[in-house]
Structure 1
Amino acid sequence: MARTVLIDPDEDRKMRDVAMAWLTDLPKTEDGWVKQRQLEDFEFNGERLPLMDRQAGIRKPAGYDTALSMRTVYTPAGKKPPYEDSLGDDGLQRYNYRGEDPTHPDNVGLRNAYARDLPLIWFLGAADAFYLPKYPIWIIGDEPEKLQFVIAVSEEQKPENTGPITTTTQKRIQKRLTNLRLHQPLFSTRVRHAYKHRCAMCGLGYKGLIEAAHIIPDSEPDGHPEVWNGLALCKLHHGAYDSGIIRIHPDNFVMEVREDVLADRSTEPMLVHGLQGLHGKRLRLPHPSHHPSKNALLWRYNKVRGI
């Protein structure tokens, strides 16, 4: 039965602490994902209190005038997301309102959480019905003229710790933090999942040694944290790719080892088998829906060759 009396603010804070502790202990996939169905089992004070709304992107539990969580749905490759959250010029993440009415109850719920400096949970869509939870995060600004809220994805981004963000250096620092705390974890887990935790170059499957490598670096305007701009690589081949020792031909996904490395006559096994032995071989590709972008590969290929 829905509550008719609003929850006491202290009880609201306690509920969030309990919810985040419960979420930390919740069994997850090897990628750190939770299934949407699991989030329906949370209870507080003996009452069921799902952490995610089945339909809406913002979760404001009955009896509470504050939002508890928000989500970004998974969008398959080639599809347009229903809401496109963006990065502001100040390097801080934005989250779109629900609809175009600032007074919608869900938007008011986020605004109330902002006014009380309450922590929230952000569920990032990783695959169909699977989410990567990010918490705690905070609303630190409201931009009704743009129908969006300003998000701090870590304590370091809260206004009392940053002060006014005005200089280019300050903005760069905040963008780096946003990428590090929000975009990179989702990018990394989705890329490694797409390649089944195996190196696309050598096939090594030791999960602790597999990393998500950008094709176009995230420092570039087109360096988006999307699976099409990534490769799952072991630590050796990640370094070799980033340094230009190994390049990938964009037309056929064939690896090319840099000429001076191919000419090295050392008998070191790692050189002979780990680098030189890959020359002329084709990448181990994931499902076609997750293939690396040929345009991104072409950008990197030309960059490495100085074109």
Structure 2
Amino acid sequence: MAWLTVRSNDGADPLSSEDLLDFRFNGEEFRLRDRQRGIRKPRQLRSALSLTTVYRPEGANRPYEDAIHSDGRVRYKWRGTNPLHAENRALREAMRQQKPLIWFHGVGDGYYQAIYPVFLVAEEPELQQFVVATDGTQDIPVAPASVAEEALRRYVERTTLARVHQPVFRSMVMRAYETRCAVCELKHGQLLDAAHITPDSHAEGIAAVTNGLALCKIHHSAFDARILGIDPNYTVHIRPDLLDEIDGPMLRYGLQERHGQQLMALPKLRSERPDRQRLEHSFERFRAG
């Protein structure tokens, strides 16, 4: 996990399948994830080491946002239907020993966001799945049906969304936009954000590429503050009162001169481009502001 932290820029960047092959343990190749299976159980260990959720394109079945349930925790399916399958036993052993696991979440073909450590906290045999805690709350005792339980449930749901959805969402958006700001085409990843068109605090604010825009930090702030709007035809608009203002070069070149211009970067796949209906609703909020 320390190696992953370094290689992924402290969890900010996804890793390719080839990147993951570079890991060595005691000088020997040691695979962190299984190329063919979702559960990695090295022969050297008694329990599982990692889980993998493969990438699903827009519109495909089982989108990753459905993996988080109403209690805020993730469900991970058994391997097959046999509870005694070796990989299911390896997960059960990790749960029994409370071993930390790595969760590799696919964000593109052959690219994975590493989320770690995660812990298995329960098993739901009737649904053939394990319950995964991603936020460090696996050891917090709470009395059932208490006020504290409800508060913890909300905390877990909020932190799970932040811990899982945000880095996965960012990686998917950056891949789709080839790490370029949609408004100005800035290419420095450290200065780019994955912005939601429909806010993630909204019930419809799903963490999907079509609800995202790669924006530099100035354009992201301007978008959220309704200084900058984007209409359904992908045209940039600047709030009218700012167009007459005189200030420094950032206002002139970064905002005023983008008014009426098309977005400079869009995903190559049409299926990953910003949803026009979401942009229409966002643009209405911009005009009302």
User: What TM-score does the superposition give when structure 1 sets the normalisation length?
Assistant: 0.81
> Are the aligned partners of 1:85 and 1:95 in contact in 2 as well (CA < 8 Å)?
no
Q: 1:54 aligns with which of 26, 35, 45?
A: 35
Which residue number corresponds to residue 202 of structure 2?
A: 220
Question: Quick one: distance in 2 between partners of 1:261 and 1:47?
Answer: 60
Question: Quick one: distance in 2 between partners of 1:102 and 1:233?
Answer: 46
- In the alignment, structure 1 residue 89 sits paired with structure 2 residue 61: no
Cα distance change, pair 233–254 in 1 and its aligned pair in 2 (3 A): same
Q: 1:232 aligns with which of 207, 211, 214?
A: 214
What is the CA-CA distance between 1:116 and the residue it aligns to?
0.7
Structure 1: unaligned runs, 5 residues or longer: 1-19
> Are the aligned partners of 2:135 and 2:156 in contact in 1 as well (CA < 8 Å)?
no
> Are the aligned partners of 2:179 and 2:192 in contact in 1 as well (CA < 8 Å)?
yes
Question: Quick one: distance in 1 between partners of 2:65 and 2:157?
Answer: 17
- In the alignment, structure 1 residue 113 sits paired with structure 2 residue 125: no
Q: 1:270 aligns with which of 244, 250, 270?
A: 250
> Are the aligned partners of 1:40 and 1:52 in contact in 2 as well (CA < 8 Å)?
no
- Report matched runs for 1:4-19 at 5 Å: none
RMSD: 2.9
Which residue number corresponds to residue 47 of structure 2?
A: 66
Question: Quick one: distance in 1 between partners of 2:245 and 2:183?
Answer: 22
Cα distance change, pair 85–267 in 1 and its aligned pair in 2 (3 A): closer
Q: Which amino acid aligns with 2:164?
A: L
Q: Which amino acid aligns with 2:48?
A: A
Question: Quick one: distance in 2 between partners of 1:231 and 1:82?
Answer: 19
Question: Quick one: distance in 1 between partners of 2:71 and 2:56?
Answer: 26
Structure 2: unaligned runs, 5 residues or longer: none
Q: Which amino acid aligns with 2:69?
A: G
- SS state of the match for residue 140, structure 2? helix
What is the CA-CA distance between 1:82 and the residue it aligns to?
8.4
Question: Quick one: distance in 1 between partners of 2:181 and 2:227?
Answer: 16
What is the CA-CA distance between 1:254 and the residue it aligns to?
0.8
> Are the aligned partners of 1:117 and 1:138 in contact in 2 as well (CA < 8 Å)?
yes
Cα distance change, pair 165–255 in 1 and its aligned pair in 2 (3 A): farther
Give the fraction of aligned pairs with identical amino acids, expressed as a percent. 43
User: What TM-score does the superposition give when structure 2 sets the normalisation length?
Assistant: 0.85
Higher relative contact order by CA 8 Å / sep ≥ 6: 1 or 2?
2
Q: Deviations over 1:202-252 (max 9, x none)?
A: 2223332211111111112221222211111111110111111211111x1
Question: Quick one: distance in 2 between partners of 1:203 and 1:40?
Answer: 32
Question: Quick one: distance in 2 between partners of 1:183 and 1:165?
Answer: 28
Question: Quick one: distance in 2 between partners of 1:165 and 1:217?
Answer: 31
- In the alignment, structure 1 residue 294 sits paired with structure 2 residue 276: yes
- In the alignment, structure 1 residue 258 sits paired with structure 2 residue 256: no
> Are the aligned partners of 2:108 and 2:175 in contact in 1 as well (CA < 8 Å)?
no
| Count of matched residue positions in the alignment of Structure 1 and Structure 2 | 284
- In the alignment, structure 1 residue 194 sits paired with structure 2 residue 142: no
Q: 1:135 aligns with which of 94, 111, 116?
A: 116
Q: 2:140 aligns with which of 156, 160, 183?
A: 160
Cα distance change, pair 27–245 in 1 and its aligned pair in 2 (3 A): closer
Cα distance change, pair 82–183 in 1 and its aligned pair in 2 (3 A): closer
> Are the aligned partners of 2:228 and 2:286 in contact in 1 as well (CA < 8 Å)?
no
Question: Quick one: distance in 1 between partners of 2:231 and 2:74?
Answer: 35
Question: Quick one: distance in 1 between partners of 2:248 and 2:163?
Answer: 38
> Are the aligned partners of 1:90 and 1:166 in contact in 2 as well (CA < 8 Å)?
no
Which residue number corresponds to residue 125 of structure 1?
A: 106
Q: Which amino acid aligns with 2:181?
A: C
Cα distance change, pair 166–306 in 1 and its aligned pair in 2 (3 A): farther
Which residue number corresponds to residue 183 of structure 1?
A: 165
Q: Deviations over 1:55-104 (max 9, x none)?
A: 11011123644211110111223322488752122222222222333333
Question: Quick one: distance in 1 between partners of 2:252 and 2:19?
Answer: 48
Cα distance change, pair 143–245 in 1 and its aligned pair in 2 (3 A): same
Q: Which amino acid aligns with 2:201?
A: S
Cα distance change, pair 243–25 in 1 and its aligned pair in 2 (3 A): closer
Q: Which amino acid aligns with 2:199?
A: P
Cα distance change, pair 241–43 in 1 and its aligned pair in 2 (3 A): closer
What is the CA-CA distance between 1:268 and the residue it aligns to?
3.8
